[in-house]
Amino acid sequence: MLGVYDFCGHYEWTFEWLRQRGGDSLVRAYWDEAIHQDAQTHASELILKKGFKGMQEYWGHTLAEEAAEYFTTATDKVFRIDMHECPSKGFLIRNGLEQYRDYCDHCMGWTGPLLKRGKFVVDHQHNHRGQCWWEIRKETDMTSASAPGQLAGHEDVRLRPDWKPSGKPMDTYKRANDSDDKSSKADCSKPGS
Amino acid sequence: MNEGAPDMNDLKEQILPYRDSKPVGAPDFYLAINATFRFILNKYGAEGLRQYWADLGTRYFAPVSAAWTKRGLPGVAAYWEAFFKAEPGAQVEVKLSSDCVILDVTVCPAIKHLREHGREIIPRFCEHCYFVGEATAVPAGLTVRIEGGNGTCRQTFCRRDSNLPDQNLAKIKEASC
């Protein structure tokens, strides 16, 4: 039986299984069709109906269930997540599992199409160590991503001494809702600057 | 299980090849497992889905095959004890005899969770236990037979030389909400 205890392991393995058969387009289709439009229909219902409040409800439940170390900031204009210990990337790192080139892309892969339906855009960075941040705004709101500490105070993951990874690029999305809209830089520049 | 078996937390540490910091998995991931099967079925058909399950068994679960090779049927029993202990809502009895390990699944945690959330379960869902299980078992000189499904089933792991009849897929029930 396939179980949920090690779900992130076979989930990540599946990305590469699909990529070898249908290329990156099949992996993107998987995140959109299987995860966004099938598995996570409860997320769509909450976020499309309730907007930022729905995001708080959805990620409050799901990240707690997965035992994440995270902090959220919600206003009527932005929803921010500071992920200090991503439970799924942490599982992969601890168990030495890395089949697909960037597991972290799956988050934008399924939330991107959902947020696009809700006319939201995302500023996001992940450091490939199980740490990331997200700021979600309405696409009509042209506000740039916040400076470190501006929205989340001392909970801002960018203030961690280990935020900038060595030997791994920092992946950055600006006003995005597509997993291909990222840039990877070894030397991350601060957003909003 | 035999008397004197190790504590279950110790067992999980020793037996499960991929270990998490939390004791039990998040049940909403069953929704993604079912959706993944549906996606692959739609793209590649039944044979493609069976190939996916077989590849999972031979590749992703290769450490499980290695452990079963090393530990034999007691290792198989210990694996499933630890496995179901970490699956939320599972009710399973694991019986070890001299020539086989029998799993009596009275509550399948995946079917239970999918039903509770009103999800359309792919009818072939329960076949994955056979195809993944068999692909994991074969390298260890073992084989599995499954009877039932759709929430309750019996899974029997035996040595390949035990002359069991081939798996009759008609004995695996279609899953439904």
Which CATH number goes with the domain that contains B162? 3.30.1380
Kindly state the percentage of chain B with pLDDT values over 90. 89
Does B142 map to a domain?
Answer: yes
pTM here? 0.92
pLDDT of residue A62: 73
Of the partner residues B25, B108, B128, the one whose CB lies closest to the CB of residue A4: B25
Interface membership of B20 toward A (CB under 8 Å): yes
Q: Which among B90, B55, B49 is positioned nearest to A34, based on CA atoms?
A: B49
Laid out side by side, the sheet with A170-176 consists of A69-74, A79-85, A132-138, A120-126, A170-176, A182-185
The answer to whether residue A2 sits within a structural domain is no
* Domain boundaries, position A32: 7-185
For residue B55, the enclosing domain spans 8-12+24-171
Per residue in B109-148, pLDDT (tens digit) is 999 999 999 999 999 999 999 999 999 999 999 999 999 9
**What are the pLDDT tens digits along chain B (177 aa)?**
344 444 445 555 569 999 998 999 999 999 999 999 999 999 999 999 999 999 999 999 999 999 999 999 999 999 999 999 999 999 999 999 999 999 999 999 999 999 999 999 999 999 999 999 999 999 999 999 999 999 999 999 999 999 899 999 999 999 998
Residue B2 within any structural domain of the chain: no
Total domains in chain B come to 1
Domain assignment present for B50: yes
Q: Reduced to 3 states, what is the DSSP secondary structure of residue A58?
A: helix
Is B153 domain-assigned? Answer: yes
Mutate to test the interface with B, among A4, A41, A63 (most CBs of B within 10 A): A4
- Three-state DSSP at A44 gives helix
Q: Does A1 map to a domain? A: no
The shortest C-alpha distance from B26 to chain A (Å) reads 6
Q: What pLDDT is recorded for position A110? A: 97
Based on the structure, what is the number of domains in chain A? 1
Q: Is residue A120 part of a domain?
A: yes
Residues A78, A133: contact at Cβ < 8 Å?
A: no
B19, part of any domain: no
Closest chain B residue by Cα to residue A67: B22
Domain annotation covers residue A192: no
Give the ipTM of the model, two decimals please.
Answer: 0.93
CB-based contact, B34 to chain A, within 8 Å? yes
Q: Which whole-number Å values give the CA distances from A89 to A98, A128, A142, in the listed order?
A: 10, 8, 31
Q: Is residue B1 part of a domain?
A: no
Among A2, A6, A65, the residue with its CB nearest the CB of B128 is: A2
Q: Are A121 and A150 in contact (CB under 8 A)?
A: no
